[in-house]
Amino acid sequence: MLVAILLVHAAAAAPALLLHSLGPGWRLLWLAAVLTELVLTLRRHHSGFSGAPGLIGRDGSGSWWLKDGAGRRWQGELRDRLVHPGLCVLRFGRGPGARTVVVPADACSPEQHRRLRAALLEHGAGEHGGQASQ
């Protein structure tokens, strides 16, 4: 995931480095914007940073929670999900505070990923919205 994030941001920075027709001020502004977005993306999504999701779970009432690397816990409504053997995508909340969490199969043990998929499919039974595929 880290390599993909870096490649996308490197591709976004390439025009500022390669297009000499842009003035130096515009090139610097472009690079600053790409670097700012890179830092924000890494802080939010990469596990080495405190804002990245660390744990996902469900309490006894069926409510979902999300805990980040800094230990902050969000209790939230699971608004949408996509379940696939190789990937789970969870969407918590709505509006500016909404979080989307992508859990690839290799992010945890096969048994943990299977249990997450089962819980997500159980959560979605009889509901409208969300997608599930097995």
Please name which of 37, 63, 68 lies closest in space to residue 51, comparing C-alpha atoms: 68
pLDDT at site 45: 62
CATH match for 53-132 among 2.60.40, 2.30.29, 2.60.120, 2.170.220: 2.30.29
The model's pTM: 0.55
Per-residue tokens: 85: 């053997």
pLDDT, tens digit only, all 134 positions of the chain? 667 777 888 999 998 888 888 889 999 999 999 998 888 777 666 655 555 566 787 777 777 887 776 777 777 788 888 999 989 888 887 777 777 888 888 878 889 889 989 988 887 654 444 444 44
- Delimit the domains of the chain by residue range: 2-45, 53-132
Looking at residue 29, its pLDDT comes to 93
In the three-class reduction of DSSP (H, G, I as helix; E, B as strand; rest coil), residue 65 is classed as strand
**Spatial distance between the Cα atoms of 124 and 116, rounded to a whole number of angstroms:** 12
pLDDT value at position 33? 92
* The pLDDT value given to residue 106: 82
Q: Look at residues 89, 127, 132, 80 and name the one whose alpha carbon lies nearest to residue 107.
A: 89
